[in-house]
Amino acid sequence: MVLLNVDGVECRYGSVKVLEDVNLKVEGGDFVGILGPNGSGKTTLLKSISRILKPHKGTILLNEADIYSLKSVDVAKQMAVVPQDTSIGFNFAALDVVLMGRNPHMKRFQMESEKDMAVARKVMNLTNIWHLAERPINELSGGEKQRVIIARALAQEPKILLLDEPLTHLDIINQLEIMDLVKDLCVKENLIVLAVFHDFNLAARYCNSAIMLKDNKVFSAGSLTDVLTSENIKSVFHVDAIVKKHLVTNSIFVIPLSPQKSSPSRKCSIHLICGAGTGTALMKVLLDEGYSVTAGVLNVLDTDFETAQFLKIPVTSEAPFSPITEKTHKANLAMICEASTVVLTSVPFGYGNLQNLEAALAALERGIPTFVIEEVPIEKRDFTKGKAKALLTELKSKGAESVKDQNELLSMLNVSIEKFKTAKEERDRILDHLKPEETKIKGAGEKS
Amino acid sequence: MFLLVLALFVTVIVSLNIGYAQIPFPDILGILGKQIPVLNGLIDSSLISPQNTAIILQIRLPRILAGVLVGAALAAAGVLYQGVFKNPMADSYVLGVSAGAAVGASLSILSGVGFAFLGLRLVQVAAFVGAVSAMFLVYNISRVGSRVPVATLLLCGIAVNFFLFAVVGLLEVVAGDELHSIVFWLVGGFSNVLWRDIWAILPFILIGIVASYFYARDLNLLAMGEETAHHLGVNVEKSKQILLVLASLTTAAAVSICGLVGFVGLMIPHLTRLIIGPDHRILLPTSTVIGAIFLVICDDLARVVATPFASTLELPVGIITMLFGAPFFIILFKKKKQSYAT
């Protein structure tokens, strides 16, 4: 059983620390994903393991032997690297490139033997490139070239395979085929695989453990499910992400949301009356625009409810699949009173949530500006035999603004806020005039 | 490969025939045959004039063999440099070897001392010493810790080259009557080659070429990039160091007897690569032989081209290599450049 032990490794370029206190213990059959943002030290870690960058402190042991005390040839028999940059200076034939992987197994004065040819043939069949054997490497497509490089690494018959973003140039089918192959070897031949990934989902699909780097240190390490959590992704990558287990592949999958925009807070809160997923996209957009958002009434387990939970939006909620009770309705009204604007989405109405329309009406009566998004005509989503339609018509007749979609809503919101601002400025100006004379004189005195 | 070696032999024999004195082929073969002990008794020497024997053995043969050795040396060194540097512009002079040799030679020419060291002329010894010192200078300037990065090596080489050629320029300005000798040496030629010159450079060139052949596979791997070569089990720094020293010694030896013959070290490796591909295990020996053939033919031309105008005038071979080699290369390149995407 091969054992790779990275112990307290620290690397520097000059006086700049690029890797600090990394510990890692892997054995045959482990498929370890190395995750982290750009510049977090992923490639540096691979470089120090592959003997390119000698650690300043700490040791890297390959089967108990310090890897830096071994000869290049002996390490190359055990460890192969698929680099990020695969440009090749001279135009060798694909087979010749793969045969170069046999170098560590050949003596200086030896030509390739039958066995070397057999190995090359085997790995080229595995990577599905035997038919390209005689083709010059620089005439191959990106995917084919990458397969040649991987075949070369496999020709070394390594026990450890280091992959530095091996899938950058590949389309989806090539990515899956190559990773399937590597995973297969990892399981069957007890290979150690260490791979730098930028794609969480590929990492999640193939790795059984992972190490996540942040600021040149290990932020989290262990089994994949422990490392790849939305909390970790949030604090390392500063991206909100939904992490779930996929029903088909049975591996976890990650949906990154776009990074939080740092638009200035508008000091303006919006209450969403939504449900059944009609508010999900809007919640994120409004937050990004700098509004503070509340929502209700939503049933627990409703898509909008889950989104609100995820985005940490305050919600008035009702028990799953239950009609809105008087108590929740009142709580919702209380929440609405705090808001400066109410937005009603194109949510379908049944007897269970009809009260939400009444809540909107109540808001309007209290002078809170109310917007109605009518992406879907009310006839198609009214399951209350016209009651909802009647309420909506009443709402509009009492001054609720109707908008056709999210974009229109956003521009209307901007206008109403501008209006609000101008009104405020106007009021301030008037107030200014009414201020006592002495302050004005004082100001003029300072000038002269 | 066998055909190429045969071609080299034929070139040598044909070249022996070329010259002012007309010596028929049978006589040439007879004269050569007599030098080989086994064949000695079989050849009727009465038909061969001692004068012709002297012309062939003392004048033409050493000159042609010098062409073979220098051509082989420069082409092989060019392959090594281009392989190590992964740079198509690298040639056998890239590490300042040419400039060092030029300074050494110019100084010795100006000194006017013709003194001989083990039978060698001072110019040769000085050129060799200059070349080797320049190479070590460049190598040591470029060293970063225990590593010698290719980019710094290339840049230092160019910087030192410029500096040393500036020195040569200065020497030329103050040279006066000796200017012609300096210029003639700088362009390169074989007109004064003697047997002892051949013996002096033979070991360097032979060892250089043979030893570097053992590193041909390393060169292939270095072409993949130094890090990749390292991952594939090459001791990169050591291989690089050995290859550069071998290439530079070979070049220095060649330059010391014939001056700066250009083009061979740059173009012959490219030309050979166009024909047989990039595998250094084939490229290195093939280039070596093609370099030898090429330079011998160029030297033949150098001897012959000007003869119609004045029987004693001959051109420096360096001019021929560039004058005829460059267009030939361009034609070949235009024909095959598609397959030569580097």
pLDDT tens-digit readout, B157-172: 889 988 998 999 898 8
Is residue B118 predicted with pLDDT exceeding 80? no
Closest chain B C-alpha to A80 CA, distance in angstroms: 6
Are A34 and A197 within 8 A, CB to CB?
A: yes
Give CA A100 to chain center in angstroms: 38
Closest chain A C-alpha to B227 CA, distance in angstroms: 7
Interfacial residues of B (vs A; Cβ cutoff 8 Å): 86, 214, 217, 220-221, 223-225, 227-228, 230-236, 273, 277-279, 339-342
B69 pLDDT tier (thresholds 50, 70, 90): very high
Cβ contacts (< 8 Å) between B214 and chain A: which residues? 108-109
- Sheet with A370-373, strands from edge to edge, namely A315-318, A292-299, A269-273, A341-344, A370-373, A401-403
| pLDDT above 70 coverage of chain A, percent | 90
Sequence ranges of chain A with CATH classification 3.40.50.300? 3-230
Helix (H, G, I), strand (E, B) or coil at A170: coil
Are A225 and A216 within 8 A, CB to CB?
A: no
DSSP, res A111:
P
Closest chain A C-alpha to B143 CA, distance in angstroms: 16
A108 interfaces chain B, CB cutoff of 8 Å = yes
| Cα gap B218→B319, rounded to integer Å | 34
A195 pLDDT tier (thresholds 50, 70, 90): very high
Task: Using alpha carbons, list the distances in angstroms from residue B71 to A327, B258, B267, B332.
Answer: 100, 11, 12, 20
Cβ contacts (< 8 Å) between B230 and chain A: which residues? 50-52, 72
**Residue A341, C-beta contacts closer than 8 angstroms, at least 6 positions apart:** A268, A269, A270, A271, A368, A369, A370, A371, A413, A416
Are B98 and B259 within 8 A, CB to CB?
A: no
Query: Regarding beta strands A65-66 and A16-27, do their DSSP bridges make them parallel or antiparallel, or are they unpaired?
Result: unpaired
Q: Which of A74, A89, A103 sits opposite B232 (nearest CB)?
A: A103
CB-based burial of residue B240 (10 Å sphere; 0-12 exposed, 13-18 middle, 19+ buried)?
buried
Tell me the per-residue pLDDT of A22-48, one tens digit each, with 9 for 90 and over. 998 998 889 999 999 988 888 889 999
Instruction: State residue A418's pLDDT score.
Output: 66
B136 pLDDT tier (thresholds 50, 70, 90): confident
B98 pLDDT tier (thresholds 50, 70, 90): confident
Cα nearest neighbour of B147 on chain A: A52
Interface of A with B in 40-69 (CB under 8 A): 50-52
Q: Which of B225, B231, B342 sits opposite A50 (nearest CB)?
A: B231
A100 interfaces chain B, CB cutoff of 8 Å = yes
Task: Provide the residue type at B313 as one letter.
Answer: L
Instruction: State residue A261's pLDDT score.
Output: 58
Tell me the per-residue pLDDT of B257-307, one tens digit each, with 9 for 90 and over. 888 888 888 889 988 988 888 899 999 999 999 999 999 998 888 888 766
Its sign, for the CA torsion B34, B191, B11, B24, is negative
Are B268 and B291 within 8 A, CB to CB?
A: yes
A15: tokens are 């006086």
Cβ–Cβ below 8 Å for A90 and B232: no
Closest chain A C-alpha to B90 CA, distance in angstroms: 13
Give CA A351 to chain center in angstroms: 39
B15 belongs to a structural domain:
no
**Residue A302, C-beta contacts closer than 8 angstroms, at least 6 positions apart:** A275, A276, A277
Is CATH 3.40.50.2000 correct for A269-409? no
Is residue B45 predicted with pLDDT exceeding 60? yes
Are A2 and A9 within 8 A, CB to CB?
A: no
A277 pLDDT tier (thresholds 50, 70, 90): confident
Helix (H, G, I), strand (E, B) or coil at A240: coil
**Residue A167, C-beta contacts closer than 8 angstroms, at least 6 positions apart:** A146, A174, A175, A178, A179, A199, A202
Q: Which of A51, A100, A109 sits opposite B221 (nearest CB)?
A: A100
Cβ–Cβ below 8 Å for A100 and B224: yes
- What is the tally of structural domains in chain B? 1
**Residue B259, C-beta contacts closer than 8 angstroms, at least 6 positions apart:** B105, B127, B184, B185, B186, B187, B188, B189, B316, B318
B205 belongs to a structural domain:
yes
**Residue B122, C-beta contacts closer than 8 angstroms, at least 6 positions apart:** B108, B111, B113, B114, B115, B116
| Cα gap A27→A186, rounded to integer Å | 11
Helix (H), strand (E) at residue B267: helix B264-276
A446 pLDDT tier (thresholds 50, 70, 90): very low
Instruction: State residue A445's pLDDT score.
Output: 45
A93 interfaces chain B, CB cutoff of 8 Å = yes
Q: Which of B223, B227, B235 sits opposite A88 (nearest CB)?
A: B223
Closest chain A C-alpha to B282 CA, distance in angstroms: 12
Fold topology of A3-230 = Rossmann fold (3.40.50)
Are B25 and B13 within 8 A, CB to CB?
A: yes
- Sheet with A160-164, strands from edge to edge, namely A79-82, A160-164, A192-196, A31-35, A209-214, A217-223
Its sign, for the CA torsion A276, A282, A287, A290, is negative
| Cα gap B312→B297, rounded to integer Å | 19
pTM: 0.74
The helix-helix angle for B150-173 and B179-187 (nearest 10°) equals 150
Instruction: State residue B338's pLDDT score.
Output: 56
Tell me the per-residue pLDDT of A330-370, one tens digit each, with 9 for 90 and over. 888 888 888 888 888 889 998 888 888 888 888 888 888 88
B229 belongs to a structural domain:
yes
B1 belongs to a structural domain:
no
B2 belongs to a structural domain:
no
Its sign, for the CA torsion A224, A226, A231, A234, is negative
Cβ contacts (< 8 Å) between B227 and chain A: which residues? 52, 81, 83
Are A402 and A396 within 8 A, CB to CB?
A: yes
Cβ–Cβ below 8 Å for B231 and A80: yes
| Cα gap A411→A417, rounded to integer Å | 10
Cβ contacts (< 8 Å) between B235 and chain A: which residues? 71-73
Are A383 and A373 within 8 A, CB to CB?
A: no
Closest CA to A403 of A376, A371, A448: A371
Its sign, for the CA torsion A275, A278, A283, A286, is negative
Domain CATH code at residue B299? 1.10.3470.10
Is residue A447 predicted with pLDDT exceeding 60? no
Tell me the per-residue pLDDT of A93-111, one tens digit each, with 9 for 90 and over. 999 999 999 999 988 777 8
Candidates B213, B221, B231: best to mutate against A (most CBs of A within 10 A) is B231
Q: Rounded mean pLDDT of A394-401?
A: 86
Q: Which of B217, B224, B339 sits opposite A136 (nearest CB)?
A: B339
Q: Rounded mean pLDDT of A108-137?
A: 89
List residues bridging with A4 in a β-sheet: A26, A62
Q: Which domain holds residue B165?
A: 58-339
Tell me the per-residue pLDDT of B19-41, one tens digit each, with 9 for 90 and over. 766 777 777 777 777 777 666 66
Q: What count of other Cβ atoms lies within 10 Å of the Cβ of residue A45?
A: 30
B39 belongs to a structural domain:
no
Instruction: State residue A448's pLDDT score.
Output: 40
Closest CA to B190 of B279, B67, B88: B67
Is residue B342 predicted with pLDDT exceeding 70? no
A26: tokens are 């892997």
DSSP result, A350-364: -TTTTHHHHHHHHHH
Cβ–Cβ below 8 Å for A73 and B233: yes
Q: Which of B214, B223, B235 sits opposite A90 (nearest CB)?
A: B223
A442 interfaces chain B, CB cutoff of 8 Å = no
Are A129 and A56 within 8 A, CB to CB?
A: no
Cβ contacts (< 8 Å) between A80 and chain B: which residues? 231
Cα nearest neighbour of A152 on chain B: B232
B290: tokens are 């093609």
| Cα gap A120→A105, rounded to integer Å | 12
Cβ contacts (< 8 Å) between B147 and chain A: which residues? none
